Chain A
Amino acid sequence: MFAPGRLLCLAALCACGKPAQDATPPAAAPEAPWFEEVARASGLEFQHVRGLTQRFWFPEIMGSGLCWFDYDDDGRPDLFVVQSGDLEPGAQPLPGCKLFHNLGDGRFEDVTAQAGVAGHGYGMGCTAGDYDGDGRVDLYVTCVGPNILYHNDGGGRFSDVTSAAGVGDAGWGTSCGFVDIDGDGDLDLFVVNYVRWRKQTEIPCKSPYGERDYCAPNNYNAPSQCVLYLNDGGGHFHDGSAQAGLAAAFGNGLGLALADFDGDGRTDVYVSNDGMPNQLWINRGGGKLVDEALLRGCAVNRNGASQASMGTVVADFDQDGDADLFITNLRGESTTLYDNDGKGNLRDVSSRTGMMTASQSMTGFGDGAFDFDLDGVLDLFVVNGRVGFWKPYYSATDLYAEPKQLFRGVDGKRFEEVPHGGLSADLYGTSRGAAFADYDGDGDIDVAVVENNGPLRLLRNCAPRKGHWVELDLRNRAGAPALAARVSLQSGARTFTREVRVCSSYASADDPRVHIGLGALAQPGMASVRWPDGTRESFGPLAADALHVLKQGAGSPVR
């Protein structure tokens, strides 16, 4: 039988002047953007400065982070952006860090000068917390060199109290977080340090193409120790690192996650190291920490390889009530997702996420896990940017720039990449810090991003909504965010578990308010809270699509 259709196939096969092409997936149907870039329109004028570009000093490629925190307690998250500056400042004044007050109408006002938080070093990261229990949120800034603690004096003003508080570690600080390690009811301070670097000991490194380029951290063979400042009360801390067990452990630390991984009610500490095994400091109580990362499965990836770990996020991805870990890594390594078995054993399950291929060609830094489209499943947003020159490059004006990536959560275990990072077109930058908040109070999560040597970005969430949401503002008795409080929200057959965290991503801090996408669930039900002091209360029933303030002592006690 003669079948003309077959002949057509043959003819197509015979058009063989070109190499056979691999099957490519069909183009995805156009999708409405999830984000729009509105920084400038919102009054966020900030240009990151890193110093001379041609000398290839290591800190200059590492960029900085940013923090969402409500410094004036008006119920709206404000934005603090860390400035780097110049490691060899000249006569000209350099731009400093900036604090932007959220005006509540989608716009921000620069209040840095009034607040007195411009900084005076080569800034890296920041975190926020009420360390002295006066109900006002204070600010800590890490630097290449001495860090800074700003006390929130109220009235929109801060004082530099670093020296009096004794927290001015002079290493190369990166991520940091306030956390009650010793369980005495006040906030201690954990600081991650990167490499022991000095410009005098800078070394020349080359790109794969033979030209001068930035070094990798292991070229310096100078990893650092983390620092734990224990709060003595009265506005003073002491260095409890040795007592805690941190003194003998070294790493090129970049990321920090504070969470109760083993479910014993104490906050544990995960430190992501760049090119070295990561550390999971299990809190044994009384200020003692023991690194059990190797045995618990999260020091290295499933093949035993150390990765260049950067941004670090804790979230209950699979909704089984425990803290899972997501980490961004260097180009060629792909991102890593560790699944918690509920006892603090973390298993590398990256191969089942569907993200390995898409993330392999990027160098990930800041990251966040939120339900951006309110479908009831956590999504992942990752900002990327290279640390070494590589061809092909995306932008002729910034050779280290890469696009941002958005991964839609499918079922808590798998993710699908959304084109263009959820924007209408790729947005390139050498991205570093990313911090997340519902800054416009519309019930969905927005993103602020620092581009190394580039502008600040504000990505407003404009994703088509797929469901309901609820936001929970958990406050301690002093009225400050109750860091490390754990809330479980029961809704029908589903339970959403979240912890109040500010320390996340890369050298950054998210808004401490808990955001939960509910999907089709219109009635979220009761919230059960375990406060940091171990007491439990329940609140509710809570209405959907609203922000609820849950104050310690105002709920119904739960035994």
Chain B
Amino acid sequence: MLFHSMRRVLIALTLLLSCLPCACRKPSFEPAVLSETRELDAEVLQLIEQKVAAVRAAPGDARAHADLGLVYEANGLWDASEQSFGHALAIEPSNSIWLYHRALALREGGQSAAALAALRSAAEQRPKDAAVQQRLGQWLLDGGDADGAHAAFSKALECRPDQPEFLTGLAGVEIARGRWSEAFALAKRALKGNPGYAPGHFVAGQALQGLGRSEEAKPQLAAGLNAKVNWCQDELSRDFDSYQLTTNALATGAASANVQGNYARAVELYEKLAQRKPEDADMQNNLGANLIELGRLDRAAEVLGKALALAPQSFAVHLNLSELYLRQKLLPEARDAAQKAVDRGGTVGRTHYQLAKVFAAQNDQDGRYRELKAAAALDARDTRLLFDLGDTCWRLGRLEEARAFARKGLELEPNSLAGRLMQGVFALQASDFDEARAALAVLERLAPQDQKTVALREQLQKSGH
């Protein structure tokens, strides 16, 4: 017995001594490298090579490994990213922001359980990091842990009180608990901070539905459809953005910039993409579209000319050419190009919409109406078409039809300023003062200072209602 105890002690001592060097010397690692790089864009490869070289030069430098991990992460190379952050953490375990990014890489790489464990650990170490707490709250809520999610969102709120994203997260927790009143109160607070935050509208709608207030729930749910959570930035976000270089990342960034109306950024990214893929008509075409939005029509004409040469049958190229001619006030050319777009892509609503725009410019309201109807038959959820149809009908003197289109559009997009204004003006013309007042009430809530709201208010007052 004594012999066995002594033997265990000796083994333990031997092991302890054998690992003493690691207690006084930091480990070092070879950089995480990709087994396959053929499909990577040259710019990404170059950046990776640069960061790999930095790691090779200092294999014990945790920051260099983490930087490499961030490059991989920014370009969707999850396994290598996870490995790199792992190396960084092994060298410098106390840097919990790397643990957070390792969690993100694990999750994207499909290792959800390990990702959650890593995120929990990062959140424990970073109780005052709102970005980390928000992410943990959402993941826990998705996983059914309402209490855990509540704790995480509450911590995030402590860091940034009244942040709409965190209030919305907490409202989601209350929805999961079936506490509708509490959820609605939180959603209202969130929407006060950011009236346009779609997830806030969605939880408000869920709460109202839970409270049995279905009619009020409907527009909230509609406004919250396809909601996307705004993730808070963390301390690596700036570098992350600058490292996004894959064609896909650039294209996603460009498309996103376009959607947000940031055409300058979109052009910047599409220029890179077009340079990278000069034979890609799609890239040239998208670049052209954004140049038009910026008003750089000569350059747009040059780029779209290239796109047309590459893809003469593309309806999308003809679509943008039509828009270019429209801006250049070359109406016959605009109409010809729009017609070509319809001929080549008539199943796509946008082609008919473009032709309708040309008809509008030519003041051909019948033609405009016909093409808008064709577009709406293909894209019934596009409220822009419904509001334009309302406008066309009004110009054609068909007031009741115009009102019907405006109402239909507002069913889908209850918070549309243009739609509400249209509803109010048409209602005034039809002497339907109840509906005009209802429209004004929404406008007063959405944009009380807007000139159009003010004008409608004055007109209603003038009419004695």
Q: Which residues of A contact B (CB under 8 A)?
A: 2, 4-5, 7-8, 10-11, 14-20, 22-25, 196, 198, 200-201, 203-204, 206-211, 220-223, 248-250, 277, 294-295, 297, 299-300, 302-306, 351-352, 356-357, 360-361, 391-392
Interface of B (DSSP majority class)? helix
- Given known pairs A22-B113, A294-B225, the reply for A14 and B89 (CB within 8 Å) is no
List 18 A-B residue pairs with CB atoms under 8 Å apart, sorted by A's residue number: A11-B18, A18-B86, A20-B93, A22-B106, A22-B113, A24-B113, A206-B247, A209-B40, A209-B246, A211-B39, A248-B380, A294-B225, A297-B206, A302-B172, A302-B206, A304-B221, A305-B226, A306-B226
CA separation between A2 and B6, bound complex, in Å?
A: 11
Check A7/B227 contact, CB under 8 A, given A208-B246, A208-B248, A222-B348.
no
Q: Kindly list 14 other residue pairs between chains A and B, CB separation below 8 angstroms, not including A204-B282, A295-B209, A303-B229.
A: A4-B5, A11-B12, A14-B19, A16-B22, A207-B248, A208-B248, A210-B248, A295-B221, A300-B225, A303-B202, A304-B201, A305-B228, A351-B142, A356-B144
CB neighbours of A19 from chain B (8 A): 86-87, 89-90
A20–B89 contact, CB under 8 A? Answer: yes
Expressed in whole angstroms, the Cα–Cα distance for A299 and B381 within the complex equals 14
| Bound Cα distance A23, B348 (Å) | 51
Q: In the complex, are the beta carbons of B110 and A361 less than 8 A apart?
A: yes
Which residues of chain A are near B176, meaning CB under 8 Å?
Answer: 302, 351
Q: Is B232 an interface residue (CB 8 A)?
A: no
Docked complex Cα distance between A250 and B412 (Å): 13
Measured between beta carbons, the chain B residues less than 8 angstroms from A20 are 89-90, 93
**Cβ contacts under 8 Å, B118 to chain A:** 22
Give chain B nearest CB distance to A223 CB in angstroms: 8
- Per the bound structure, the CA–CA distance linking A486 and B199 in Å amounts to 38
Contacts of B198 in A (CB 8 A): 304
**Interface residue? B1 (CB, 8 A):** no
Does B113 contact A295, Cβ atoms closer than 8 Å? no
Interface string of B91-135 (1 = CB under 8 A from A): 001000000000000100010111011100000000000000000
Q: State whether A250 and B282 are in contact (beta carbons under 8 Å apart), knowing that A4-B8, A16-B90 are contacts in the complex.
A: no
Residue of A nearest to B221 (CB): A294
Q: 5 tightest CB-CB pairs across the interface, nearest first?
A: A19-B86, A304-B202, A361-B110, A351-B144, A304-B227
Partner of A14, one of B16, B36, B248, B316: B16
A221 near B350 (CB under 8 angstroms)? yes
Q: Out of A4, A17, A208, A357, which one reaches B76, CB within 8 Å? A: A208
Shortest Cβ distance from B110 into A: residue: A361
Instruction: State whether the Cβ of B270 lies closer than 8 Å to any Cβ in chain A.
Output: no
CA distance A277 to B221 in the complex (A): 12
Contact of B143 among A23, A206, A357 (CB under 8 A): A357
Residue B217 interfacial (CB < 8 Å) = yes
Known pairs A209-B40, A221-B348, A221-B350; A277 contacts B225 (CB<8 A): yes
Q: Which residues of A contact B141 (CB under 8 A)?
A: 351
Residues of A within 8 A of B217 (CB): 295
Measured in the bound complex, the distance between the Cα atoms of B143 and A356 in whole Å is 7
| B9 at interface by CB-CB < 8 Å | yes
B23 an interface residue at 8 Å Cβ cutoff? yes
Bound CA–CA A211/B224 (angstroms): 34
